[in-house]
Amino acid sequence: MEMAKWRSQDVKTRVYDAMEKARRTQSQLNAVVTFIDVEEQLKRLETMDPKLPLYGIPVVLKDNVNTKGILTTASSRILSNYVPVYDAAICEKLKAAGAIIIAKASMDELGMGGTNLSAYTGPVHNPYDLTRISGGSSGGSAVLCAAGISPLTIGTDTGDSVRKPAAYNGVIGVKPTYGRISRYGIIPYASSLDHVGYFTTAVADAARALQVLAGRDDRDMTSSYEPVPDYETALNSDLHGK
């Protein structure tokens, strides 16, 4: 469901409905590692501009994205008690844009896989057929987008870890140009190939997400100095020269 439809509900309704649906489907999908308490985020949102691009939108993060004070396991038993002391750059940007982070999603252990069968919390299941795999390594994020739990879910892509689960679950997966989005605070797999990516169900939402997430970050020396255009405004149906 596109963000525009989510915005037709008041913020608390949309956030609590998303969390309730995630909990209700967890026994079938097994896509969530950690559910996040949203009360403080909702209080903070009351002081923010309702015109922010992701105002009150429930968002899910792959569990290799560091979140201050919140368990971040990369779906590995080795990190089963790791609680970061800082937020990843993209987490900072999402919060500044008004997003409400509701959960951390399962992944292939440490990002090493393409099936989402290796997480220490067990396999993630495809929402269209629970006997089939989600693809990976960002399978939990793709499944939670496909199941209508969140209109924007964050993944990472080193080999095909956004593109494969996007295809398997029938959602839009974006792997941007290397360095377009800061990797600061992402538990690494192969730094020369790691990308932050994401899933949506609408191209306009994908453009909006990139607008929020892109940009130079001095804490990631590989991040790009290229300016960030207005991706959403630039959308059109012209295929000339493509």
**Secondary structure of the chain in HEC code, one letter for each residue:** CCHHHHCCCCHHHHHHHHHHHHHHHHHHHCCEEEECCCHHHHHHHCCCCCCCCCCCCEEEEECCECECCECCCCCCHHHCCCCCCCCCHHHHHHHHCCCEEEEEECCCHHHCCCCCCCCCCCCCEECCEEEEECCCCCHHHHHHHHCCCCCEEEEEECCCCCHHHHHHHCCEEECCCCCCECCCCECCCCCCCCEEEEEECCHHHHHHHHHHHECCCCCCCCCCCCCCCCHHHHCCCCCCCC
- Residues identified as active-site: 62, 137, 161
